[in-house]
Amino acid sequence: MYPYVFFPLFISIVFFSYEKLNNQFKTDELKVVCRMFLITASFLFSAFYAWREIYEGFGGIDADTYKAVYDRLSLNYFEALNQQRYEKGYGTLVWLFKYLFDSYEIFQLIYFLSMLFMYRLITKNLNGGASSLISYFLIAFFLIISFNLSRMMLGVFLLFFVVKFLSEERYKEALLFTLISSLIQMACLWGIVFIVYHYSLKKIKSRVAFASLFVVIIANSFLLVQLFKSILVSVNYGHYVAESTEQFSGANYIYAIFLSLVYYVFFRDRKCLSPLSHTIFQLLPTMLFIIPLYLAVPIAYRFNFIYILFFAFLIPDVISYWRGGESMLVFRLLIVFVPVLYSLYKIINFYTRDVLSAELWVMQSSFFIF
């Protein structure tokens, strides 16, 4: 348990401190020292991730499966692709590291360094203030969840940059990045939903027309469930279709609706919100498109992670309304209280559920020699 308590905490504190100190330092020398500290810390964090023991009961439920695939992988590229059930882009990366290094630890090291690099790019877009530390902490949880869902967590981080392109109305780049990232995790095709929704929101001026279209699409999405099931079967994930749907949880969807209402009633005209935050708020209703899939195919719960990252990112924006809002005190209290309560709920869930699924964390003996 203790590594899981301190690992996300240390990561969030290190990256949060770097952002604050780097902005305060005036000389280039101090900035270089600060940057070297971050690089060194990143390599250390990645080494702890890469050289952990991975076998039954250790290192994550899915981690031993990923390692087993890597260990028996052919050095022939086409044979290696056929041996893997991964998307072709991710499968190519796995084969390349197998061919060049034949070391699963090196592959994991580079993977986690990439995750930390994207973590840095995501968190640097947060609105300033002490409340952003909560976001740093919650987003760091995704790094722990990657013990089990490494492709999915990589996909979640990649999709964030699709949203950043949309905030700048760079639709071609958003589409290109969506297609590339889908080669890592098929769920990244959800970026197309973001693109179409955002483009339609900009072009359709009538709110009534847009709301009507939104309802029609949600209704039709129930018909698309069969298509999604056939895709799962075609990529050898057919066993997920037969699983029970009793584990549906609506808490995230209720929270998305709450934030959407808060945005359109109180936040939409706020100048202090960045274009990125505005875009994330605008995209939250697309979470409702997942419900038909989630009800029919439980694996669709993984799409929730995309929006949970959004929820974590928006916390400083929502909390800042306490000071800058002009609404009645009771509304400001409610608007701030709900995100704080949601954050506590996620932290409790993390340490009672996700940590257990990550299983025991001990280091290989070779790590200490290294």
pLDDT digits (tens, 9 = 90+) for 55-81: 877 888 888 888 888 888 888 888 888
Local confidence band at 28 (pLDDT 50, 70, 90 cut-offs) = confident
- For residues 294-318, one letter each, b for 16 or more C-beta atoms within 10 angstroms of the residue's C-beta and e for the rest, the string is bebbbbbebbbbbbbbbbbbbbbbb
Beta bridge partners of 363: 52
pLDDT digits (tens, 9 = 90+) for 262-281: 888 877 777 778 899 999 99
pLDDT exceeds cutoff 80 at 216: no
Query: Which residue has tokens 């009800």?
Result: 295
Pairwise CA distance, residues 225 & 210, whole Å? 23
Mean pLDDT (the chain, rounded): 82
Q: Which of 41-50, 204-213, 323-332 has the lowest mean pLDDT?
A: 323-332
pLDDT exceeds cutoff 70 at 212: yes
Pairwise CA distance, residues 203 & 210, whole Å? 10
* Per-residue confidence (pLDDT) for residue 117, from 0 to 100: 94
Which residue type is seen at 337? F
pTM reported for the whole predicted model? 0.86
Sign of CA dihedral 82, 85, 91, 97: negative
Q: Which of 147-156, 220-229, 306-315, 345-354 has the lowest mean pLDDT?
A: 220-229
- The residue among 221 and 317 whose pLDDT is bigger is 317
pLDDT exceeds cutoff 50 at 246: no
- The residue among 239 and 340 whose pLDDT is bigger is 340
* Per-residue confidence (pLDDT) for residue 245, from 0 to 100: 45
Pairwise CA distance, residues 297 & 303, whole Å? 11
Residue 279: is it exposed, middle or buried by C-beta count within 10 angstroms (0-12/13-18/19+)? buried
* Per-residue confidence (pLDDT) for residue 45, from 0 to 100: 93
* Per-residue confidence (pLDDT) for residue 73, from 0 to 100: 87
Count CA within 13 A, CB hemisphere, residue 131: 19
